[in-house]
Chains A and B, each alone.
Chain A
């Protein structure tokens, strides 16, 4: 049972099942599309956090940039969707490589602070260049052109388009994570000094991880702009970076499907709770503290525990949970 949960093909099957089940359980095609789009961006965030050990507060940069690039290419340049997507991925990869290259010049908490500062940089850049971005109002009237004669204007047709891209990119991210490259990222995460001593060009690998993550995040941003018909300033704001990171950690770092789970949890909880209580983020804040204290492996950790209980196998979290137990430092 536990072994099964570790197999990549199972994760892909779960992702495919999610894409199939969402239309059955949700009434809103927009919410369903949003779950896949944010799930994709969170999985890309996970490639950095869970696989490379880089906690990036700059994912909103690439998401927002993807939205703007998509909007400009579709609206002003009149590009077809299929030409726009690779261009957006390229913009995302190039920007992420640059931000990554600068940020990894410092390590640990400095790195995290730098990514956050860069996210502010791009926010103010977008705010200042209002001719391109529409400033505070966002880039309005982003079209959703037909794809090979098939209009995407219906929410569920668009969902099908998003789902196909989602599964393709999810599989691609899995391939990256399972490749020699991905295994090397894990080595860097676990012991950077050792990986470097063996002779791996650690910084090149980190920049490459940033580029891949940035490309996928930008694509997610492009899909989001097409979904809501606007490339809003909020997509490049600190808040988006924070949200993507929260989704990733709620789901569980180090497992790509867990990120989809985290995104789904965040968006569905937000959808339900915000109708009852607009200040539901207060509860989310409390949940984050609880996760930091009690369930560091996120929702996926809970699933593993439940599976272990059902199969009466030893809890896979037990060993690692011991190591992270809060240690009371009594003199």
Chain B
């Protein structure tokens, strides 16, 4: 029974990892841009949700607002700053976004202080669900349900809508898209905002589970990298499968060997790299 509990826990965690990684993946797919500030956007989402709830705003409003605010901020950053770096080597994409992440981390410490804080789940979800002899927090069930809905919506957005077609075409053949008269710059900005907004939403959803602290960004970034390396960048199914695998593995290990739970994520990744260098769903 504890295993079932941990697997359920892992699904919730894994869906958050999926949200985080899929944003990174979309941005890279379209822009060929490695966003090392992705973890910083995740952290900002968590802190914004925390502050809004602390100031008395409903958690239900804080969630979409965190998504919108982080998305808008990221879009602005892209339009003002990052788009000037696209033409350069990956090294400078990484350098600029590492700089950005560092600046965000310091700003978070200035505004919110160096010590983390906890955020209670909303009252309507603070209870537990009892299924037989099996107790589970409502909030975590809600996270699973919401992220599953979001995953479906996102899949529809990317695969079933005109916007999704434009985004996918843009990542295959940006010049052709520009020749056809699409304003690729606006598409780029919008997609960057969407990807970062998803990271912000993941942060906001994670805040009641893990709390907020100024160093949560690095952990989030490296987990997102593991998911993307294992699942294959630009692959929606890969991000989902790898996100769930990482989440479930981490949760199961938390009962078997608590200190080593996070170590196992990275050992697992090393094992995948040795056996399947292209990742689970990798194309290139």
Interface residues of A (CB under 8 A from B): 49, 55, 102, 105-106, 108-110, 112-114, 116-121, 124-125, 127-128, 238-239, 242, 245-246, 249, 253, 279, 281-282, 284-289, 291-293, 296, 324-327, 329-331
- With an 8 A cutoff between CB atoms, is B100 at the interface? yes
A residues less than 8 Å from B169 (CB atoms):
none
- For chain B, residues 85 to 133, give those with C-beta under 8 angstroms from any C-beta of chain A: 85-96, 98-107, 109-110
Which residue of chain A is the closest to B77 with respect to CB atoms?
A289
- With an 8 A cutoff between CB atoms, is B260 at the interface? yes
Q: Which of A120, A279, A284, A329 has most chain B Cβ within 10 Å?
A: A120
- With an 8 A cutoff between CB atoms, is B185 at the interface? yes
Residue pair A109, B90 in contact (C-beta under 8 Å): yes
- With an 8 A cutoff between CB atoms, is B267 at the interface? yes
Q: How far is it, in angstroms, between the C-alpha of A286 and the C-alpha of B100 when the chains are bound? A: 7
- With an 8 A cutoff between CB atoms, is B228 at the interface? yes
Distance (Å) between the CB of B219 and the closest chain A CB? 8
Q: Can you sample 6 A-B contacts with CB below 8 Å?
A: A55-B91, A106-B273, A112-B90, A124-B262, A128-B260, A292-B95
Q: How far is it, in angstroms, between the C-alpha of A326 and the C-alpha of B85 when the chains are bound? A: 6
Please classify the interface of chain B as helix (H, G, I), strand (E, B), loop, or mixed, using the class held by over half of its residues: helix
- With an 8 A cutoff between CB atoms, is B263 at the interface? yes
- With an 8 A cutoff between CB atoms, is B57 at the interface? no
Q: How far is it, in angstroms, between the C-alpha of A127 and the C-alpha of B182 when the chains are bound? A: 51
Residue pair A289, B81 in contact (C-beta under 8 Å): yes
Please classify the interface of chain A as helix (H, G, I), strand (E, B), loop, or mixed, using the class held by over half of its residues: helix
Residue pair A124, B266 in contact (C-beta under 8 Å): yes
Q: A289-B95, A289-B99 are in contact. List 11 more A-B contacts (CB 8 A).
A: A114-B273, A119-B222, A242-B98, A285-B101, A289-B103, A292-B85, A292-B96, A324-B88, A329-B174, A329-B184, A331-B181
Distance (Å) between the CB of A324 and the closest chain B CB? 5
Q: Which of B34, B218, B233, B259 contacts A128 (CB 8 A)?
A: B259
Distance (Å) between the CB of A38 and the closest chain B CB? 17
Q: Which of A120, A124, A292, A329 has most chain B Cβ within 10 Å?
A: A292
Interface residues of B (CB under 8 A from A): 28, 34, 81, 84-96, 98-107, 109-110, 174, 178-179, 181-185, 218-219, 221-222, 225-226, 228-229, 233, 259-260, 262-263, 266-267, 269-270, 273-274, 277
A residues less than 8 Å from B89 (CB atoms):
324
Residue pair A117, B229 in contact (C-beta under 8 Å): yes
A113-B229, A128-B263, A329-B184 known; A249+B269 contact, CB < 8 A? no
Q: How far is it, in angstroms, between the C-alpha of A128 and the C-alpha of B178 when the chains are bound? A: 52
A121-B263, A291-B95, A292-B99 known; A102+B225 contact, CB < 8 A? no
Residue pair B263, A124 in contact (C-beta under 8 Å): yes
Residue pair A284, B102 in contact (C-beta under 8 Å): yes
B residues less than 8 Å from A125 (CB atoms):
263
Distance (Å) between the CB of A286 and the closest chain B CB? 6
Residue pair A55, B277 in contact (C-beta under 8 Å): no
Q: Which of A106, A121, A288 contacts B99 (CB 8 A)?
A: A288
Q: How far is it, in angstroms, between the C-alpha of A285 and the C-alpha of B263 when the chains are bound? A: 29
B residues less than 8 Å from A105 (CB atoms):
273-274, 277
Complex A-B, nearest 7 residue pairs according to Cβ-Cβ distance, in ascending order: A288-B99, A285-B103, A121-B266, A285-B102, A331-B178, A292-B96, A282-B106
Residue pair B263, A102 in contact (C-beta under 8 Å): no
